[in-house]
DNA sequence: TAATTTAAAAATGTCGACATTATATAAAAG
DNA sequence: CTTTTATATAATGTCGACATTTTTAAATTA
């Protein structure tokens, strides 16, 4: 849980490892902003807050928008084809009988990834991925609320097909506006979940 | 040097530390993309390349542009005042007799920081700072070429005052175009330096 | 009773030894 | 002479013990 103390001894016993690998693992989690450390005072799970939630999602929206804008300039035939394929995979699965949320998430993120891939910038894609990971704890709150919520999923699906069409017609302005809204949609719902904690 | 092997034993002796602190330090450098590690094969200084140079500087240009765009929307009186002050400090120093490059860099980055600070997004500012750090190795090549090059400094200075004016008049389009050019300016020079290595 | 000091307990961070893995060298085979 | 195999050397990564610091608890003082 956020703010929770991470005791070295406890973690060593739980994962059956020594000091070194554990501390290095914690170092990696610090790099991901999931853990913070105070000198000589140990490690803690990073805190969450509405301010942080808002900031991360707004940054994500802007970065995604930027990647898409660049992708629309640089994207070639292969980019279009891959986006089309990813959209198809997501579409088909969204219409299927039983939806496994993990598989849906895989296809969902694969679709968005196929769109931004066209920007051809490793660094921007890395930044985007990093922000996506940082938003995971908040996104999980959204998933708990919206598990098997077919209505929300339906709206989502409409936006995805529209996004693909905007991509194929290279409508930068329309796509950037839509993607920013698309990403920011869950924020209000998550804010409520956060308040209830 | 890029690609150089980092021997644990050597580093331990050089810095007079044990295994753990050294490996944790390396972990932090990995997070900054300055060092890479291959499992069971040790640590290496990250490579540099023209592709990487180009990608980093283009990403920086886009992020800086984004921050400025947002700052122009959200910036208040204090933001304007701080930018004005930072601009003044940079201006005065650029006109002074003897220029210490380190002090000039401090005032230079302080000026740009004062502009983007108005975007009010900790995450975006963090991303911006991280990219700036990643570009340091390339920027140092530029500094070696342009140490005490008053001509380059003069052009730079013009752009800075123009940037401030665009900020005070909230000319988003003009400012974003200028800042992107401003950041990308050194790229061609650095490319040449890189080729000569 | 509250605040401060002192002592005990627990936790962190560092070290050097050791086991495992990769690399370099020499020997053997094709 | 080249390629393969076997051996020796060197380097990495892991572990548990130890020293230092922080936290908790008890005792003393005002």
Report the CATH number at residue A30.
Answer: 1.10.10.10
Q: How many domains does chain A have?
A: 2
Helix H or strand E encompassing A5: strand A5-6
Same domain as A148, residue A59 = yes
B20 sits within 7 Å of strand D by its CB: yes
Q: Are strands B35-38 and A42-45 parallel, antiparallel or unpaired?
A: unpaired
The predicted pLDDT at position B28 comes to 94
Among B67, B107, B65, B61, residue whose Cα is nearest residue B87 = B107
Residue A148 has pLDDT above 80, yes or no: no
Range of the domain at A107: 50-195
Share of chain A above pLDDT 70, in %: 97
B43 sits within 7 Å of strand D by its CB: yes
The answer to whether A28 contacts B27, with C-beta atoms less than 8 Å apart, is yes
Selecting from B27, B121, B123 the residue whose C-beta is nearest the C-beta of A27 gives B27
Q: Which tokens sit at B89?
A: 């400090």
CATH number of the domain encompassing residue A183: 1.20.120.530
Q: Which of A104-118, A133-147, B34-48, B110-124 has the lowest mean pLDDT?
A: A133-147
Q: Is B111 in contact with B86 (CB distance < 8 Å)?
A: yes
Same domain as B187, residue B97 = yes
Distance of CA B147 to the CA centre of its chain: 17
The predicted pLDDT at position B38 comes to 94
Selecting from B28, B59, B123 the residue whose C-beta is nearest the C-beta of A124 gives B59
Among A114, A113, A96, A108, residue whose Cα is nearest residue A143 = A108
Same domain as B119, residue B26 = no
Selecting from B24, B122, B127 the residue whose C-beta is nearest the C-beta of A127 gives B127
Mean pLDDT, chain A, integer: 93
Mean pLDDT calculated for residue range A53-59? 98
Same domain as B148, residue B57 = yes
The answer to whether A28 contacts B24, with C-beta atoms less than 8 Å apart, is no
The beta strands (E) that lie in B33-159 are given as: 35-38, 42-45
Residue A197 has pLDDT above 80, yes or no: no
For residues A116 and A142, the model is more confident at A116
The predicted pLDDT at position B181 comes to 96
Residue A155 has pLDDT above 90, yes or no: no
Between CA A17 and CA A19 the distance in angstroms is 7
Same domain as A37, residue A69 = no
A39 sits within 7 Å of strand C by its CB: yes
Same domain as A26, residue A62 = no
Q: How many helices (H) and strands (E) does chain B have?
A: 9, 3
Same domain as B142, residue B92 = yes
Same domain as A58, residue A24 = no
Q: Which tokens sit at A48?
A: 């969450």
Same domain as A27, residue A63 = no
Same domain as B89, residue B19 = no
CB burial readout B23-60, b (16+ within 10 A) else e: bbebbebbeeebbeeeeeeebebbebeeebbbbbbbbb
Interface of B with A in 17-56 (CB under 8 A): 19-20, 23-24, 27-28, 30-31, 55-56
The predicted pLDDT at position B101 comes to 84
**Total Cβ atoms within 10 A of residue A52:** 19
The predicted pLDDT at position A97 comes to 83
Per-residue pLDDT in tens (0 to 9) along chain B, 197 residues: 999 999 999 999 999 999 999 999 999 999 999 999 999 999 999 999 999 999 999 999 999 999 999 999 999 999 999 999 999 999 999 888 888 888 988 999 999 999 999 999 999 999 999 999 999 999 998 888 776 666 677 778 889 999 999 999 999 999 999 999 999 999 999 999 999 87
The answer to whether B24 contacts A24, with C-beta atoms less than 8 Å apart, is yes
Q: How many residues does chain B have?
A: 197
Same domain as B122, residue B40 = no
The predicted pLDDT at position B128 comes to 98
DSSP A118: G
Q: Which tokens sit at A164?
A: 């693909």
Q: Which tokens sit at B130?
A: 């991280």
Interface of B with A in 122-161 (CB under 8 A): 122-124, 127, 131, 134
Same domain as A132, residue A190 = yes
- Cα of first residue to Cα of last residue in chain A, in angstroms, is 11
Angle between helices B122-134 and B101-116 (to 10 degrees): 150
B18 sits within 7 Å of strand C by its CB: yes
Q: How many residues does chain A have?
A: 197
* pLDDT tier at A21, thresholds 50, 70, 90: very high
């Amino acid at each position: 849980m956020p703010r929770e103390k991470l005791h070295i001894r406890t973690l060593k016993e739980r994962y059956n490892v020594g000091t070194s690998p554990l501390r290095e693992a914690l170092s990696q989690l610090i790099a991901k902003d999931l853990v913070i450390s105070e000198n000589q005072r140990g490690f803690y799970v990073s805190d969450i807050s509405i301010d942080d939630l808002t900031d991360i999602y707004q940054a994500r929206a802007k970065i995604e928008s930027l990647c898409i804008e660049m992708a629309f300039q640089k994207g070639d035939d292969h980019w279009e084809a891959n986006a089309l394929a990813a959209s198809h995979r997501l579409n088909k699965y969204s219409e299927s009988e039983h939806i496994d949320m993990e598989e849906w998430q895989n296809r969902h993120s694969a679709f968005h990834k196929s769109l931004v891939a066209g920007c051809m910038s490793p660094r921007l894609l890395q930044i985007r991925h990093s922000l996506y990971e940082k938003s995971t704890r908040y996104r999980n709150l959204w998933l708990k609320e919206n598990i098997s919520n077919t209505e929300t999923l339906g709206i989502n699906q409409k936006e995805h097909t529209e996004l693909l069409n905007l991509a194929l017609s290279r409508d930068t302005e329309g796509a950037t506006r839509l993607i920013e809204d698309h990403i920011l949609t869950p924020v209000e719902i998550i804010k409520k979940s956060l308040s209830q904690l």
